[in-house]
């Protein structure tokens, strides 16, 4: 089932950058699919996001 | 018009045998009336629909033993043949026709006593969806996706909000049910997704923090301390919720006991007076709180004024003395004289004459005589007025204090009178002669009422104590979170892990905040709609105040004086409240689903039937309503309204009661 409009609206209103908003939607879709092994999926996504952010931050500084 | 049930088709199903029942609306409304005598298939219609959708006959009696297979078919059955029992429910929404098909095959055996027995074999559930537009527009969906389609249209968790038994209202607002309602509403609004994401992120957050802690002993110590505080906070929150839940329950019981006492004519007046006094006492408590605030402000203000009062008076006296002696304001500008002395070689800026030695000596004397500079003089003039105000205020201290004390005494005296009268009423009711009215044991009811009141007061006290401790722990929690952040910054060596932790914290914060807003908005929306529909349905316009729904989805109705009166509602009013709440849940779920009601007016008193029938007709202009009546319930006053707008479907059972013989 698609994530409800009211939740999507609230995510859009959150005071975080677009990448984090996307990550939030992905996490909710994972929950909706009823994933059993959530830990490894969550960890992988969070690690990827943190690494990407670090690269982006360095890129901006350079 | 939203989702509509168009047709229910039966094959060998109970007394319906093999039939199609079609529900037709018209341009103005979508109201269907179905009339059947008790035992001829009224509730079976409801059971057939729930069996088709949920594989369960939700409204079946506990002692039901007849098989699903129609008894006439069973009696004539051949053991070599399989007999299908099938129910199809056809619905229509904006863009599709959907048919839910459930079937179960039966094999028949003959028992030693000669009776035939139907044994169920394999079953099938499928959904046929036909899009209104498009070329390849029909699809057949099997389990488990088929069950998902059911969930989308008729969520099984709240089935009785679509298929409603008017006779079973007693438990409609039961506490345990409100938890189910809350859970289902959270499900509908996908709040459970947010809750699960928060739970999972919480676990990962804890593990990440542990990993960081291994590299920093300070961090670990603070983390442990914070975990301890978090647990204590959880404990306080749960304790507060527990006391509040208990008080909700006690208030409900109190309402019931009060209603009971009101039924005894000789003490009705006393009971009414007691409720008035109780309300007065509540108002007095509010006034006491306001007075306490006023006293605090007064003390804060006067603590400063009184502690500086001697200095204020001294300074003001000095300014007044200088004014009297002419030193204030000074007639000579000290700065100008000093400038003349400093630039003695220049000409006087006032008279343009040269300044000689004698003039210089004169100027020096003037300067020596001046004790107040212009700047100081201006400053003293500036502060004089506020000082006077402070001193004046200080003089009013006693009168203001007396006024506050008098107010406090007046409130205390009113409280004393009120409490005394309440005690007298309690004694009068408690000592009421039990033999005068045998139906209600008044002294015992009174004792129970007193015990409930004492328990409620004790719970209120416990809530206050726990809330105070919770506040302290929340402050500790905030401090520890800040300390953790500081320690985290020190541990730069594990940069990526810290970034992950910070991201998890940010995600958690966002999800918590969304969860809070969504649940709050949802509850508020249901509350507002319930209130509006209830007031629209109810014809006693001057009795009822607000309808509220608390965080645990308990529905309460207040009277105009703000007394809870949920427990005192008549059966008709309970029904109106149940309809209002049901329709609010429908609306909040975002799907305009049909409402099938068994005995829609069954508990409505005769004089209110026409009104309730009219209210339901109004609802049918916006959504489909199918009503299952007995002929008695479909009384003249209802018939007069509904026969004009709909063609009632009446079913007639065969003489041997094995099947429905006629549908007209």
CA distances from A8 to A12, B200, B523, B540, B591 (A): 6, 20, 19, 42, 18
* Angle at the Cα of B4 from the Cα atoms of B644 and B614, rounded to 5 degrees: 35
**Predicted local confidence at residue B136, as pLDDT:** 66
Q: Is B60 exposed, middle or buried (0-12, 13-18, 19+ CB in 10 A)?
A: middle
Mean pLDDT of B439-455: 82
Structural contact between residues B663 and B20, judged by C-beta atoms closer than 8 angstroms: no
Range of lowest pLDDT (B66-80, B426-440, B482-496): B426-440
pLDDT of residue B308: 87
Q: How far apart are CA B45 and CA B61, in angstroms?
A: 14
Number of A–B residue contacts, CB under 8 Å: 73
Higher pLDDT, B172 or B641: B641
Q: Which of B572, B571, B573, B543 is nearest to B558 (CA)?
A: B543
The secondary structure element, H or E, covering residue B149 is helix B145-153
Q: CA-nearest residue of chain A to B517?
A: A10
Helix (H, G, I), strand (E, B) or coil at B89: strand
**Range from B22-36, B262-276, B638-652 carrying the lowest mean pLDDT:** B262-276
Q: Is the peptide bond before B127 cis (omega within 30 degrees of 0)?
A: no
**Interatomic CA distance for residues B560 and B542, integer angstroms:** 7
pLDDT at B354 over 80: no
For chain B, what is the mean pLDDT? 83
Distance, in Å, from the CA atom of B428 to the CA atom of B232, rounded to the nearest integer, reads 46
CB contact under 8 A, B204 and A53: no
Interface check B499 vs A, CB under 8 A: yes
- CA–CA separation, B175 vs B556, rounded Å? 12
Chain B closest-CA separation from residue A22 CA (Å): 11
B582: closest CA of chain A, how far (Å): 21
Q: Is the confidence at residue B126, as pLDDT, over 90?
A: yes
Answer yes or no: is pLDDT of B435 > 60.
no
Per-residue pLDDT at B332: 65
Measured in angstroms, the CA of A4 and the nearest CA of chain B are apart by 7
Most confident stretch, B68-72, B161-165, B210-214, B505-509 = B505-509
Per-residue pLDDT tens for B516-571? Answer: 888 888 889 889 999 988 888 887 777 888 999 887 788 888 888 777 777 778 87
What CA–CA distance (Å, rounded) separates B38 from B553?
34
Residues B458 and B55: their CA atoms lie apart, in Å, by 48
Cβ contact, residue pair A39, B204, below 8 Å: yes
Q: Is B434 helix (H, G, I), strand (E, B) or coil?
A: coil
Residue whose entry in the numeric block shows the structure tokens 């093999």: B18
- pLDDT over threshold 80, residue B168: no
First to last CA, chain B: 26
Are A4 and B503 in contact (CB < 8 Å)?
no
Pick from B404, B392, B376: which is nearest to B309 by CA?
B392
User: Is A14 within 8 Å of B513 when comparing Cβ atoms?
Assistant: yes
**Would you list which residues of chain A are within 8 Å, Cβ to Cβ, of chain B?**
1, 3-4, 6-7, 10-11, 14, 16, 20, 23-24, 27-28, 31-32, 38-39, 42-43, 46-47, 49-51, 53-54
Q: Is residue B183 within 8 Å of residue B215, measured between CB atoms?
A: no
- Cα three-residue angle B211-B216-B218, rounded to 5 degrees: 120
Cα distance from B198 to chain A (closest Cα, Å)? Answer: 10
B233-241 long-range CB contacts below 8 Å, 24 or more apart?
B233/B470, B233/B473, B233/B474, B233/B477, B236/B466, B236/B467, B236/B469, B236/B470, B236/B473, B237/B470, B239/B462, B239/B466, B240/B463, B240/B466, B240/B467, B240/B470
Q: Is the pLDDT of residue B181 over 80?
A: no
Q: How far is B535 from chain A (nearest CA, A)?
A: 28
Task: Tell me the pLDDT tens digit for each residue of B645-656.
Answer: 777 888 777 766
Residue of chain A whose alpha carbon sits nearest to that of B189: A4
Give the closest of B495, B510, B521 to A14, CB-based: B510
Residue numbers of B between 435 and 494 with CB closer than 8 Å to A: none
CB contact under 8 A, A10 and B200: no
Question: How would residue B49 be classed by pLDDT, with cut points 50, 70 and 90?
Answer: very high
Task: Tell me which chain B residues have a C-beta less than 8 angstroms from the C-beta of A19.
Answer: none
Pairwise pLDDT comparison (B121 vs B473), residue with the higher score: B473
Q: How confident is the model at residue B434 (pLDDT cuts 50, 70, 90)?
A: low
Check residues B567 and B408 and name the one with the higher pLDDT.
Answer: B408
Task: In whole angstroms, give the CA distance from residue B581 to residue B562.
Answer: 20
Matching residue, tokens 């829609």: B600
CB contact under 8 A, B503 and A47: no
Q: What is the pLDDT of residue B656?
A: 65
Cβ–Cβ contact B211 with A under 8 A:
no
Reply yes or no on whether the pLDDT at B180 is more than 80. no
The closest CB to that of B517, out of A3, A10, A24, belongs to: A10
Which two three-digit tokens encode residue B254? 């109190």
The band of B438, judged by pLDDT with boundaries at 50, 70 and 90, is low
pLDDT of residue B54: 94
Question: Smallest CA–CA separation between A14 and chain B, in Å?
Answer: 7
Distance (Å) from the alpha carbon of A29 to chain B's nearest alpha carbon: 8
What pLDDT, on a 0 to 100 scale, did the predictor assign at position A61? 47
More confident call, B589 vs B583: B583
- What digits encode the pLDDT tens for the residues A32-54? 776 667 788 888 899 888 888 77
Task: To the nearest 10°, report the CA torsion of B281, B287, B289, B291.
Answer: -140
Higher pLDDT, B426 or B83: B83
Structure tokens, B648: 């009632």
B64 pLDDT more than 60:
no
**If residue B33 lies in a helix (H) or strand (E), which one and from where to where?**
strand B31-35
* Residue A8 tokens, joined: 């999507």
Predicted local distance difference test score (pLDDT) of residue B53: 95
* Joined tokens for residue B612: 């309730």
DSSP B347: B
Give the span between the Cα atoms of B244 and B200, in whole angstroms: 29
Interface test mutation site (partner B, options A2, A6, A33, max chain B beta carbons within 10 A): A6
The pLDDT value recorded for residue B104 is 93
End-to-end CA distance of chain A: 43
Closest by Cα among B351, B318, B320 to B336: B351
Examine the predicted complex and report whether its ipTM is higher than 0.90: yes
Mutation target to probe the A interface, by most A beta carbons within 10 A, among B148, B193, B199, B206 is B193
CB atoms A1 and B194 under 8 Å: no
A interface test, pick of B151, B511, B512, B591 with most A CB neighbours within 10 Å: B511
Given pLDDT bands bounded at 50, 70 and 90, which one contains residue A59?
low
Q: Is B281 on the interface with A (CB under 8 A)?
A: no
For B160-205, the DSSP string reads GGTEEETT--TTTT-HHHHHHHHHHHHHHTTHHHHHHHHHHHHHHH
Torsion of CA B277, B280, B285, B291, to 10 degrees: -140
Instruction: For residue A62, name the pLDDT band (cuts at 50, 70, 90).
Output: very low
B504 touches A: beta carbon within 8 Å: yes
Long-range contacts made by residues B169-176, C-beta under 8 angstroms, separation at least 24? B169/B571, B169/B574, B169/B575, B169/B578, B169/B603, B172/B574, B172/B578, B173/B554, B173/B555, B173/B566, B173/B577, B173/B578, B173/B581, B175/B245, B175/B248, B175/B249, B175/B554
Q: Among A6, A31, A42, select the one facing B204 at the smallest CB separation.
A: A42
The H-or-E segment that residue B19 falls in is strand B17-22
Contacts 24+ apart (CB under 8 A), B229-234: B229/B473, B229/B476, B229/B477, B229/B480, B230/B477, B232/B473, B233/B470, B233/B473, B233/B474, B233/B477
Q: What percent of chain B has pLDDT over 90?
A: 18
Average pLDDT over residues B195-202: 91
For residue B451 the two structure tokens come to 């015990």
Report residue B37 as tokens. 């005598």
Tell me the average pLDDT across B596-610.
82
Q: What residues of chain B lie within 8 A of the CB of A49, using their CB?
A: 503
Which residues of chain B are within 8 Å of residue A4 when distances are taken between CB atoms?
Answer: 189-190, 590
Q: Is the pLDDT of residue B373 over 90?
A: no
Chain B residues whose beta carbon lies within 8 Å of the beta carbon of residue A24: 507, 510-511
């Amino acid at each position: 089932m698609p994530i409800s409009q009211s939740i999507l609206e609230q995510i859009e209103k959150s005071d975080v950058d677009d990448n984090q908003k996307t990550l939030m939607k992905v996490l909710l879709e994972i929950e909706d699919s009823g994933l059993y092994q959530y830990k490894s999926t969550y960890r992988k996504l969070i690690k990827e996001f943190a690494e990407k952010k670090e690269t982006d931050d360095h890129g901006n500084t350079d | 018009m939203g989702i509509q049930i168009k047709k229910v088709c039966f094959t060998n199903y109970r007394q319906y045998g093999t039939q199609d029942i079609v529900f037709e609306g018209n341009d103005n409304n979508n109201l269907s009336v179905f009339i059947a005598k008790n035992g001829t298939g009224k509730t079976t219609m409801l059971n057939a629909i729930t069996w088709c959708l949920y594989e369960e006959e939700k409204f079946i009696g506990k002692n039901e033993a007849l098989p699903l297979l129609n008894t006439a078919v069973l009696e004539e059955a051949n053991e070599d043949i399989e007999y299908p029992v099938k129910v199809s429910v056809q619905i229509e929404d904006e863009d599709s026709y959907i048919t839910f098909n459930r079937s179960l095959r039966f094999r028949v055996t003959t028992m030693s006593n000669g009776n035939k027995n139907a044994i169920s074999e394999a079953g099938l559930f499928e959904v046929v969806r036909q899009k209104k537009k498009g070329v390849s527009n029909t699809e057949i969906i099997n389990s488990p996706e088929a069950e998902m389609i059911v969930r989308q249209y008729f969520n099984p968790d709240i089935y009785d909000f679509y298929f409603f038994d008017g006779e079973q209202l007693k438990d409609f607002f039961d506490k345990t049910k409100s938890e189910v309602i809350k859970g289902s509403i959270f499900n509908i609004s996908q709040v459970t997704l947010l809750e699960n994401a928060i739970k999972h992120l919480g676990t990962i957050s804890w593990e990440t923090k542990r990993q960081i802690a291994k590299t920093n002993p300070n961090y670990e110590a603070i983390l442990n301390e914070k975990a301890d505080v978090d647990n204590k906070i959880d404990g306080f929150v749960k304790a507060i919720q527990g006391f509040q839940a208990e008080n909700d329950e006690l208030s409900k019981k109190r309402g019931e006991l009060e209603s009971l006492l009101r039924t005894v004519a000789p003490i009705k007046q006393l009971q009414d007076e007691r409720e008035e006094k109780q309300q007065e006492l509540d108002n007095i408590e509010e006034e006491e709180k306001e007075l306490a605030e006023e006293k605090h402000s007064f003390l804060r203000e006067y603590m400063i004024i009184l502690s500086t009062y001697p200095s204020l008076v001294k300074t003001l006296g000095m300014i007044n003395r200088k004014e009297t002696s002419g030193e204030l304001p000074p007639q000579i500008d000290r700065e100008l004289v000093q400038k003349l002395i400093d630039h003695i070689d220049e000409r006087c800026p006032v008279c343009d004459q040269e300044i000689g030695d004698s003039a210089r000596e004169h100027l020096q004397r003037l300067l020596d005589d001046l004790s107040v500079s212009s700047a100081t003089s201006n400053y003293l003039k500036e502060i004089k007025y506020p000082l006077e105000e402070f001193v004046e205020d200080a003089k009013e201290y006693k009168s203001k204090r007396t006024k506050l004390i008098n107010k406090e005494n007046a409130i205390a005296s009113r409280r004393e009178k009120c409490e005394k009268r309440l005690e007298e009423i309690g004694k009068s009711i408690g000592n009421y002669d039990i033999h005068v009215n045998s139906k209600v044991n008044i002294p015992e009811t009174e004792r129970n009422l007193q015990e409930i009141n004492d328990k409620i007061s004790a719970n209120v006290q416990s809530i206050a104590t726990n809330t105070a401790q919770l506040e302290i722990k929340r402050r500790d929690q905030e401090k520890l979170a800040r300390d953790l952040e500081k320690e985290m910054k020190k541990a730069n060596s594990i940069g990526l892990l810290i970034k992950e932790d910070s991201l998890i914290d940010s995600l958690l914060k966002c999800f918590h905040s969304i969860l809070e807003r969504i649940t709050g908005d949802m509850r508020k929306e249901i509350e507002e709609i319930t209130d509006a529909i209830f007031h629209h349905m109810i014809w006693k316009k001057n009795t009822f105040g607000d309808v509220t729904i608390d965080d645990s989805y308990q529905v309460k109705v207040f009277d105009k004086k703000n007394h809870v009166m949920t427990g005192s509602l008549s059966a008709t009013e309970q029904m109106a409240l149940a309809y209002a709440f049901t329709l609010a849940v429908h609306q909040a779920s975002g799907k305009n689903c049909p409402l099938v009601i068994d005995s829609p007016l069954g508990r409505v008193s005769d004089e209110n039937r026409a009104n309730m029938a009219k209210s339901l007709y109004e609802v049918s202009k916006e959504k489909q309503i199918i009503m299952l009546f007995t002929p008695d319930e479909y009384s003249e006053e209802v018939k007069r309204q509904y026969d004009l707008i709909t063609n009632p479907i009446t079913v007639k059972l065969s003489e041997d009661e094995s099947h429905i013989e006629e549908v007209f």
